[in-house]
Structure 1
Amino acid sequence: MARRENTPRRRRTPSRTSASRVLAVCCGQTERAYLDGLKRLSKPVTLRSVVKVGSPAQLVRHAVKLREKDRDGFDEYWCVVDVDDFDIDEAVAVAVATGISLAVSNPCFEVWLILHFADCTAGIASPMAAAEKLRRHLPRYSKGVLDFALFAERVDKAVARAKALGPGNPSSDMWRLVEVVRKH
């Protein structure tokens, strides 16, 4: 039997960083279903989504209240909002003043979903028009019901397309939240 050298063993320092915890307040079930699917793709991140119906500014204020009551220690607080017919400037001002991050889609979240399938550069008149445009790629699309598996392999393309858009109609900042969730 061979004898082992008496060399000291060094413990390895852990190479994993602790998982981030992100809370996202969103305005509807479609957004929540997307975020729930995204968190399954991004294992080390804890992503919790909360639905709050209201204006973008109301969602930001709700996120602030959740942060004040937070005992779980979320690292980041986000609001996923649509422009629709809202004055987004108020939400932006409240978010900046309170340190809440925004993922704004103009005119609506469906723009982000469309970007998974195609470029979207022409203005979109309404959320209904955006849903119709999305149905060209997903004929069975229905607001509030979302199968994330249809989007999972296309997230990188959506991020690239959204980054190329810039502000205005159409646009979506969802890529920023996606990158936060996937960076780990």
Structure 2
Amino acid sequence: MARKLPELKRRKPSIAEQQRFILICEGEKTEIAYFKALKAQYRSAQISIEYVAPAGVPITIMDKVKARMAELRREQRSNPSVKADTVWAVFDRDEHHKVTEAIAGRQVSGAQVAYSNPCFEVWLVLHHEDYHASDDHHQVQKRYQKLDRAYDPDGSKTPDCGFLMNRVEEAENRGERQCKSREDEGMPFGRPSTTVYNLTRAIRAAAEASRPKRS
């Protein structure tokens, strides 16, 4: 009797439980446009974008973050099987006061901070080039406007964020070097600097980890 061969069936890929990234943003246009593009690029990462309206000072952002963290803890207590989400406060230095207090507040809330000095556009510039000029936010925005004609800080146009997605890793490396330069100068988080690269790296790592695995 002929031996029956085993049936060859392709197993369905297993999808790992995913951690959600909850981004609490201050910027109404530029930051939202960028993170929406990031969400579209890394679809296997769970990204939720929340905008604090009206835009407030960093302390206001951290108040929102603390409230969100408390809400998530309540959800976990009622359902311990739910994987812990990560909350990120995304805000700029600009002319705001009490930034130090806001950054320190993350230690109390358990949240992460993606902080740019003087503004988020520093992070966008790094997708194109290294940047170490100690400019104010108007000068940084003008610099980025020269690099991206779709961007208009005084109008309704937003950056070509989809185009930036193939340069995220370059921006991360430049951002890390930029922060290291400020530290070497004795001005940690001074102008210009941004820690958004920590957030994008975490998102990319989560997207990679959550890709379907075939056995």
User: Where in structure 2 are the equivalents of 1:34-183 lying within 5 Å?
Assistant: 34-52=34-52, 53-70=55-72, 71=75, 75-86=85-96, 87-124=98-135, 126-143=136-153, 145-166=158-179, 167-183=189-205
Give the superposition deviation at 1:114: 0.3
Q: What SS does the aligned partner of 1:49 have?
A: strand
Note the residue ranges of structure 2 that are not aligned, 5 or more in a row.
Answer: 77-81, 180-188, 208-215
Deviation larger for 13-22 or 82-91: 13-22
Give the superposition deviation at 1:43: 1.6
Percent identical among aligned pairs is 28
Partner Cα separation in structure 2 for residue 51 and residue 146 of structure 1: 18
Q: What SS does the aligned partner of 2:168 have?
A: helix
Give the superposition deviation at 1:32: 1.1
Give the superposition deviation at 1:140: 3.1
Partner Cα separation in structure 2 for residue 2 and residue 181 of structure 1: 53
Partner Cα separation in structure 2 for residue 132 and residue 101 of structure 1: 29
- For the 8 Å contact 2:26–2:61, the answer to whether it is kept is yes
Partner Cα separation in structure 1 for residue 134 and residue 113 of structure 2: 21
Q: What SS does the aligned partner of 1:47 have?
A: strand
Q: What SS does the aligned partner of 1:132 have?
A: helix
TM-score (norm 1): 0.88
Partner Cα separation in structure 2 for residue 41 and residue 13 of structure 1: 24
Alignment coverage as a number of residue pairs: 181
Note the residue ranges of structure 1 that are not aligned, 5 or more in a row.
Answer: none
Q: What SS does the aligned partner of 1:103 have?
A: strand
Give the superposition deviation at 1:14: 6.5
Runs ≥4 residues deviating over 3 A: 12-16, 70-74
Partner Cα separation in structure 2 for residue 179 and residue 92 of structure 1: 20
Render the CA deviation track for 1:45-102: whole Å, top value 9, x for unaligned.
1111111111112101101112223459661000111011123101012111111100
TM-score (norm 2): 0.76
